[in-house]
């Protein structure tokens, strides 16, 4: 087997990506399909870690909009990500992928706490590490957590699975004429305010020279294809 191009990658999966056609919560078939794609990448010999969002269950900003204290509401959002991480762990283990969930919000009876060096060791042993609890701090997002963990884990790339096959100038589901980009710089994304990841995540990736690869998570096998350099995706790099 030839060495994989990417030795270690982090895949960010938003909570909404786990909803399937529902408008709230988890769709088991969708979680299972993403797990299958993760398995394909593990089988290429690439070490994989995941950051899972929580927007399918609760977003702090929505709680704050309805009158809650923002930090308190963000605590609920972080808990939502742990639920999603446990669901993804279950789906992966069902198909024989060994996993560990590590939460930035310690929850010892359901998962490990986040310990950077232990997470690296798990990946070296071929285990998929699922990072839950975001950064563990309110006022952040799981996009930023993904850039942070990818940098801490020494990942070669940060993959962002979205609903479309790359970055567009506008939402192509609303505007079919929207321009699609193959490559962009971090500054392009920031200056054009492209809705792909929040600015904190883009800046962190830029400072750490971490390429961001955006692809359609709902296309079966797309993650594996992207790791082989096939399929459609947009790359965000320095130049």
Task: Kindly list the residues in this chain that would bind ligand UDP in the complex (CB under 6 A).
Answer: 14-16, 53-55, 59-61, 74, 77-78, 80-81, 134-135, 137-138, 140-143, 145
Q: Which is nearer to ligand UDP, 20 or 45 (CB)?
A: 20
Minimum CB distance to ligand UDP, residue 156 (Å): 22
CB 33 within 8 A of CB 75: no
Based on DSSP, count helices (H) and strands (E) in the chain, helices before strands. Answer: 8, 11
- Nearest alpha carbon to residue 130 among 223, 49, 209, 27: 49
CB of residue 26 vs ligand UDP: minimum separation in angstroms?
Answer: 12
**Integer angstrom CA distances of residue 169 from 32, 187, 225, 232:** 31, 14, 24, 16
Q: How far is the CB of 60 from ligand UDP (least distance, A)?
A: 2
CA dihedral (76, 86, 236, 48) positive or negative: positive
Torsion over CA: 186, 189, 192, 198 (sign): negative
Nearer to ligand UDP, 95 or 195 (CB): 195
Q: Which is nearer to ligand UDP, 140 or 223 (CB)?
A: 140
CB atoms within 10 A of CB 65: 11
Smaller CB separation from ligand UDP, 22 or 176: 22
Output the smallest distance, CB 194 to ligand UDP, in A. Answer: 16
């Amino acid at each position: 087997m030839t060495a994989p191009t990417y030795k270690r990658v982090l895949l960010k999966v938003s909570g909404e990506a786990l909803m399937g056609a529902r408008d709230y919560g988890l769709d088991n078939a969708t979680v299972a399909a993403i797990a299958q794609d993760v398995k394909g990448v593990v089988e290429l010999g690439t070490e994989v870690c995941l950051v899972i969002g929580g927007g399918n269950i609760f977003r702090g900003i929505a709680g704050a909009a309805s009158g809650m204290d923002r930090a308190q509401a963000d605590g609920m959002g972080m808990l939502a990500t742990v639920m999603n991480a446990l669901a993804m762990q279950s789906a992966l283990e069902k198909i024989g992928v060994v996993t560990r969930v590590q939460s930035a919000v310690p929850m010892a009876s359901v998962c490990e706490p986040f310990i950077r060096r232990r997470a690296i060791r798990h990946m070296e042993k071929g285990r998929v590490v699922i990072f839950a609890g975001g950064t563990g701090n309110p006022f952040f997002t799981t996009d930023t957590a993904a850039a942070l963990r990818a940098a801490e884990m020494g990942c070669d790339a940060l993959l962002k699975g979205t609903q479309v096959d790359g970055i567009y100038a506008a939402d192509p589901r609303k505007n079919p004429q929207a321009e699609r980009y193959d490559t962009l710089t971090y500054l392009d994304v920031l200056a054009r305010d492209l809705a792909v990841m929040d600015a904190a995540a883009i800046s962190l990736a830029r400072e750490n020279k971490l390429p961001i690869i955006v692809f359609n998570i709902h296309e079966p096998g797309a993650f594996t294809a992207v790791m082989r350099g096939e399929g459609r995706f947009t790359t965000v790099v320095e130049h």
